[in-house]
Amino acid sequence: MLLSPLQLNELGSCAIQAATQAGELIKRRSLEKLAIHKKEGGDSLASQVFTEVDLASEQIILKALQPSIEKYDLALLSEETADDGSRFEKDYFWCIDPLDGTLPFIEQTDGYAVSIALVDKLGIPHIGVIYNPVDSTLYHAIKGQGAYKNQQPWAISHPSESLTLVCDRSFKKYKAYNTIISKLRQFSHHKLNIICHGGAAMNAMWVLENSLAAYFKFPKKEDGGGSLWDYAASACIFNEIGAYAASFNKEDLDLNRTDSTFMNHKGICYCSSRQLALDIQNLITSH
């Protein structure tokens, strides 16, 4: 079944409603003392912790999306629910991160969000919704219909003279971190800003909010590197706004990976422009 633009609009409205409702719950719960739990996951703390707010947010989202799942026979992939493999069988699946950026949420810093995407069986995102509970900012896009911020058409602003590197906090532990930062400082004529405290969804949005900007993760053998639900929504938004979102080795993002939900095998590269992505990739991989 191929969803029409009208049907995608309907599903986009469902996702916006679900993300907003979940985000408002997260905002209300943000000042509570929370029990922190650990789960089996990747090799970073960010992929291993969760709170009861993650679960409560997921319940709100699933309740809001259930009618659409039944109406259009959609599959489901959500961070806090076991992968049942239905995403390989049905034409489309909801891809959900009910609370992306659990660490900044626990620390009460900016950088957490609700992320919801509709992805087809081939791994192409058709809807992307990201809601930031901290300032109630809504980002969304529908394939072929452009990107929006707070329901208004959104375009990348004119590039600034400085370069912003958005990175995960684990990137600072990377053995070549200092070398990479030195290269980026030279590349930017010593006008380099670094943002290093958010989850994947807000990291991607900060790239769009701070042009020229880049966010990347290298391929690695260990499980981790973010998961499908971390990048599906932002990939749709990047595609529609005309920015660059791909694997670090310049291939399309694999948003319906068959052997895992992790993205470690190819890494990711998000940049405010394709040329910036190529420049940075060449700079970093050169000796």
Residue range 187-202, pLDDT digits in tens: 999 999 999 999 999 9
> What are the beta bridge partners of residue 237?
none
Task: Identify the weakest region by mean pLDDT among 23-32, 260-269, 275-284.
Answer: 23-32
Question: Which residue type is seen at 242?
Answer: G
What does the domain layout of the chain look like in residue ranges?
Answer: 5-153, 163-285
Asked if the model's pLDDT at residue 50 lies above 80, the reply is no
For residue 206, the SS3 value is: helix
Q: Give the span between the Cα atoms of 114 and 133, in whole angstroms.
A: 8
Q: At 76, phi and psi to the nearest 5?
A: -140, 135
Q: What angle do CA 151, 155, 158 make, to 5 degrees?
A: 145
**Phi/psi of residue 231, nearest 5 degrees:** -120, -15
CATH class in words for 163-285: alpha beta
Hey, what CATH class is 5-153 in? Answer: alpha beta
Q: Please write the tens of the pLDDT for every residue from 220-273.
A: 888 877 999 999 999 999 999 999 999 998 999 999 999 999 998 999 999 999
Question: Do residues 98 and 57 touch, judged by C-beta distance below 8 A?
Answer: yes
Q: What is the pLDDT of residue 16?
A: 99
Annotated binding site for Mg(2+): 79, 97, 99-100, 230
What is the per-residue pLDDT for 51?
76
| pLDDT, mean of residues 108-122 | 97
* CA nearest neighbour of 122 among 95, 97, 88, 86: 88
Query: Which residues are annotated as part of the binding site?
Result: 79, 97, 99-100, 230
In one letter, which amino acid is 204? A
Residue 34 zone, left/alpha/beta (φ > 0; ψ -120 to 50; rest) = beta
pLDDT score at 48: 43
Which of 72-76, 119-123, 166-170 comes out lowest in average pLDDT?
166-170
Q: Please enumerate in sequence order all residues whose Cβ is within 8 A of that of 68, keeping only pairs 6 or more positions apart, or say none.
A: 10, 11, 14, 74, 94
The closest of 183, 195, 207, 209 to 269, measured between CA atoms, is 207
Interhelix angle for 5-29 vs 52-72, to 10°? Answer: 160
* Residue predicted with more confidence, 69 or 81: 69
- CB under 8 Å to 275, separation ≥6 — which residues? none
Bridging pattern class, strands 92-100 and 213-217 = unpaired
CB 230 within 8 A of CB 256: no
CA distance 29 to 234: 25
Most confident range (mean pLDDT) of 2-11, 104-113, 154-163, 216-225 is 2-11
- pLDDT value, residue 1: 87
- How far is 79 from 215, CA to CA, in rounded Å? 22
Q: What is the mean pLDDT of the chain?
A: 92
* Better pLDDT: 45 or 119: 119
Q: How confident is the model at residue 44 (pLDDT cuts 50, 70, 90)?
A: very low
- Asked whether the beta carbons of 156 and 242 are under 8 A apart, the reply is yes
The per-residue pLDDT for range 138-181, each reduced to its tens digit, is 999 999 999 999 999 999 988 888 999 999 998 998 899 999 99
